[in-house]
Amino acid sequence: NAGVTQTPKFRVLKTGQSMTLLCAQDMNHEYMYWYRQDPGMGLRLIHYSVGEGTTAKGEVPDGYNVSRLKKQNFLLGLESAAPSQTSVYFCASSYEEGAVDGYTFGSGTRLTVV
Amino acid sequence: DAKTTQPTSMDCAEGRAANLPCNHSTISGNEYVYWYRQIHSQGPQYIIHGLKNNETNEMASLIITEDRKSSTLILPHATLRDTAVYYCIVTNDYKLSFGAGTTVTVRA
């Protein structure tokens, strides 16, 4: 049982390049989330999904797109990377009722945009 | 979500109990208190949550005051591996907001 797996773990992009971060969970969770964490700060919600085929904007959605074509996968895309998007990205998942067991987080993707 | 106030940092001795306070004076009746922690460079880890009653699991105990305006997370026997940032979150929403948390350093 792997839990939440994020791919890749590290990436360096040039300004203007695009990339997709993959999040996969094997717990049959309905809800999935993408957060970013900048140095010395808490996590900020980028986008989230309440089920297969659904997505919604979080606190800081600009510059990102997401897709949830399969229940187990949640993709985060950067169409034209900017240095301000240098951050650590965390994916998480939860059951519909988040209070049951809380979130399960992945180990993060460290992205640097130069 | 109710606003929470946590100390910026705290130290505790290895083997002793660590008591982490959280104030949430504007909490509403259907909001839960969640605690997560984040060990350096890792994703946050769920610890415990509660609504009104005190809760205990294999990781920690959560004490919520009777008026629910504050709570305390207790790590009964802190180890060096408990050094982390601890987040107190109060919400009735499935979307969690993580603030700055309390940086806890366990010293040998």
pLDDT in tens, A32-82: 999 999 988 889 999 999 999 999 999 999 999 999 999 999 999 999 999
* For residue A100, pLDDT beyond 60: no
State the pLDDT at residue A40. Answer: 80
Cα separation, A108 vs A5, in Å, equals 9
State the pLDDT at residue A101. Answer: 66
Cα separation, B1 vs A100, in Å, equals 18
* Contact residues, chain B, for A99 at CB < 8 Å: 32, 34, 49
Give percent of chain B above pLDDT 70: 99
- pLDDT, one tens digit per residue, over B57-93 is 999 999 999 999 999 999 999 999 999 999 999 988 8
Strands A10-13 and A109-113: parallel
Cα separation, A105 vs B37, in Å, equals 11
A78 interfacial to chain B (CB closer than 8 Å) = no
Closest A-chain CA to B91: A99
Nearest-CB residue to A106 (from B36, B43, B93) = B43
The helix (H) or strand (E) run that includes residue B37 is strand B32-38
State the pLDDT at residue A98. Answer: 52
Give percent of chain A above pLDDT 70: 94
